[in-house]
Amino acid sequence: KNEVEQSPQNLTAQEGEFITINCSYSVGISALHWLQQHPGGGIVSLFMLSSGKKKHGRLIATINIQEKHSSLHITASHPRDSAVYICAVQTSGSRLTFGEGTQLTVNP
Amino acid sequence: ETGVTQTPRHLVMGMTNKKSLKCEQHLGHNAMYWYKQSAKKPLELMFVYNFKEQTENNSVPSRFSPECPNSSHLFLHLHTLQPEDSALYLCASRGDQGNSPLHFGNGTRLTVT
């Protein structure tokens, strides 16, 4: 069992829908990262958070340290949001452990 | 544009070849990383360099040899690879502060024939 579990593995939505991707972890962490990977392979850091909630544009990330759970929400989804979304937890020092990713497809 | 540049973007090599992957960043970061991403698997950490010194080798086979001549450049030298080494190899860098995010390059798609 991975230390970081994401759900769902695949998600298909219609443009405009509200999307939620979940991440659960089993270890103590100092921070949690949400990353976006486009088909070309490049990865962009979306959020780094250790408590509460962060918002950037249509993206919202929340974390509950007690429950060892984080969610990434996308409001008013758009086809350009189609990508793989990866959750990663930061443990000792700067080591990151990654989830397998959630493939999101937003249809027009 | 993330500020981290990887070359080449694609590489096909035979098992007896020797090749190198290059990563360059001018973000002033002192930590640089090599990750491997195989199909349907999470990213795997390979090597970590801090201030040009290797601080982590995640049990990587010796056919992968990293080199960090300065804080801006990182190489991954490849020799006598196996077909199962085919994957996306990603470089990343990070600032010194504990709350600094990772900056990834676009990766090198490696195919070993």
Instruction: Supply the pLDDT for residue A72.
Output: 98
Task: Give the pLDDT mean for B18-47.
Answer: 93
Chain A residues lying within 8 Å of B43, measured CB to CB: 86, 88, 96, 98
Whether B23 has its CB under 8 Å from any CB of chain A: the answer is no
Instruction: Supply the pLDDT for residue A79.
Output: 96
Query: Scanning the structure block, which residue is given the tokens 């759900």?
Result: A7
Nearest chain B alpha carbon to A91: B98
Nearest chain B alpha carbon to A4: B42
CB contact under 8 A, B90 and A86: no
Instruction: Supply the pLDDT for residue A1.
Output: 63
Task: Give the pLDDT mean for A31-45.
Answer: 91
pLDDT digits (tens, 9 = 90+) for B65-95: 999 999 899 999 999 999 999 999 999 999 8
Chain B residues lying within 8 Å of A61, measured CB to CB: none
Going by C-beta distance under 8 Å and a sequence separation of 6 or more, which residues neighbour residue A103? Answer: A9, A10, A11, A84
Task: Give the pLDDT mean for B5-17.
Answer: 94
Chain A residues lying within 8 Å of B38, measured CB to CB: none
CB contact under 8 A, B105 and A42: yes
Task: Give the pLDDT mean for B52-60.
Answer: 86
Q: Is the confidence at residue B46, as pLDDT, over 80? A: yes
Instruction: Supply the pLDDT for residue A96.
Output: 87
Give residue B11's pLDDT band: very low, low, confident or very high (50, 70, 90): very high
Measured between its terminal Cα atoms, the distance across chain A in Å is 36
**CA-based radius of gyration for chain B:** 13
Nearest to B7 by CA among B43, B26, B19: B19
Nearest to B58 by CA among B45, B68, B67, B43: B45
Instruction: Supply the pLDDT for residue A61.
Output: 98
Instruction: Supply the pLDDT for residue B90.
Output: 96
Q: Is the confidence at residue A4, as pLDDT, over 80? A: yes
Residues above pLDDT 90, as percent of chain B: 74
A41 → closest Cβ in B31, B88, B99: B88
Residues above pLDDT 70, as percent of chain B: 97
Task: Give the pLDDT mean for A67-71.
Answer: 97
Residue A68: burial class (beta carbons within 10 Å; 0-12, 13-18, 19+): middle
Residue A22: burial class (beta carbons within 10 Å; 0-12, 13-18, 19+): middle
Which of A30, A34, A35, A43 to probe the B interface (max B CBs under 10 A)?
A: A43
Residue A102: burial class (beta carbons within 10 Å; 0-12, 13-18, 19+): buried
Q: Is the confidence at residue B27, as pLDDT, over 90? A: yes
CA angle in degrees (0–180, nearest 5) for B58-A3-A34:
90
CA distances from A63 to B43, B44, B78, B84, B89 (A): 22, 24, 40, 36, 29
Give residue B39's pLDDT band: very low, low, confident or very high (50, 70, 90): confident
Q: Which of A61-75, B20-34, B90-104 has the lowest mean pLDDT?
A: B90-104
